[in-house]
Amino acid sequence: MPSYPDHGQPDWNLSALIQALRTSREHTHKVRHRGRLRELPSRAVLKDILQGLAAAMFPTHYGETDLTDESIDHFVGNTLNRTLNLLRGQVRRGLLFLSDEDAWTSEALDARAVEITRHVADSLPEVRAVLVSDLRAAFQGDPAAHSISEILLCYPGFVAITYYRLANVLYKLGMPLLPRLMTEIAHSATGIDIHPGATIGHSFFIDHGTGVVIGETTIIGNRVRIYQNVTLGAKRFTENDDGSLRKGEPRHPIVEDDVVIYAGATVLGRVTIGRGSTIGGNVWVTQSVPSESSISQAKMCRD
């Protein structure tokens, strides 16, 4: 190993620095939830949970590649037991961020965490069924896909949809923080930003995917296909009387069944893209579009 000259340990004035950071953290610039909460959900643990739930639903693709008919159920059972126990702990931490957490005893908090985790567990067969419809849509919609396994192993869009569908289960149970962390884990890994509050029907396919943004109150129907750099966003934000932004107000698009939105398109506001429509690449849409429409850029003039 190379050696470096030792010029001595510098004096970092740590005592004063630690005290200054404590003063900022505890008094002058305090940002802790309700001024006191330290027990935060863990992004690392949630990533482990997402991978575990995905492995339980698709064990040979996201779990162990050499499972047999004799070992696969054992693997799924062990994976679920471990993952659901981790989830229960994270759900308990997430419950502390709800508005009524002061009214709960520790026992009530534990019981609610178990109840929510059990609901997530019970929903897994239904989630998997919808994900299989997404897989089939991807296989049918992409001529470059040679097998379902290729989509499971290689397509970032399917990872983002998987994590979104799991997060959406928690979101609908009134748990905003954990699902947001889950979809941000997918965002970091894939470049696809799906808010867990969005409503997305079955047979959904995101091709390529990088740069896709789907906002909180977006509603997407069945058999919808979108491409990279598509934004389904808000056009404007409503303010309360005190100037703060109004939360939860419908402000994102409604995309009906069998719509295709090509790369770079931007759809803003509470507009409706009618059933069976096609939105061309790089189009900017701020008004509703009737069913069976085909929207594209104006053709360039030629000399």
Architecture of the domain made up of 38-191: Orthogonal Bundle (1.10)
pLDDT at 301: 37
Going by DSSP bridges, is the β-strand pair 254-255/213-214 parallel, antiparallel, or unpaired?
Answer: unpaired
Q: Exposure pattern of 187-226 as b/e (b: 16+ CB <10 Å)?
A: beebbbbbbbbbebbbbbbbbbbeebbbbbbbbbbbbbbb
- Gyration radius from the chain CA atoms: 23
| pLDDT number for residue 92 | 94
Of 87, 157, 176, 159, the closest CA to residue 123 belongs to 87
The predicted structure's pLDDT at residue 240: 77
CATH architecture of 211-303: 3 Solenoid (2.160)
The enclosing H or E element of 179 equals: helix 177-190
Q: In Å, how far are 46, 71, 157 from 64, measured between CA atoms? A: 20, 10, 22
* Exposed/middle/buried for residue 293 (C-beta within 10 Å: 0-12, 13-18, 19+): middle
288 with 253: CB under 8 angstroms? no
Residue-range domain boundaries for the chain: 38-191, 211-303
pLDDT at 302: 38
Q: How far apart are CA 261 and CA 230, in angstroms?
A: 7
Q: Do 106 and 35 touch, CB atoms closer than 8 A?
A: no
Encoded tokens for 80: 């679920």
Q: In what order do the strands lie in the sheet with 266-268?
A: 193-194, 213-214, 231-233, 266-268, 284-285
In order along its 303 residues, the chain shows pLDDT tens digits of: 565 555 678 888 899 999 998 888 887 876 665 555 567 899 999 999 999 999 999 999 999 989 999 999 999 999 999 999 999 999 999 998 886 656 678 899 999 999 999 999 999 999 999 999 999 999 999 999 999 999 999 999 999 999 999 999 999 999 989 999 999 999 999 999 999 999 999 999 999 999 999 999 999 999 999 999 999 999 987 777 777 777 778 999 999 999 999 999 999 999 999 999 999 999 999 999 999 999 998 643 333
**What pLDDT is recorded for position 39?**
79
| Cβ 227 vs Cβ 207: under 8 Å | yes
pLDDT value, residue 3: 59
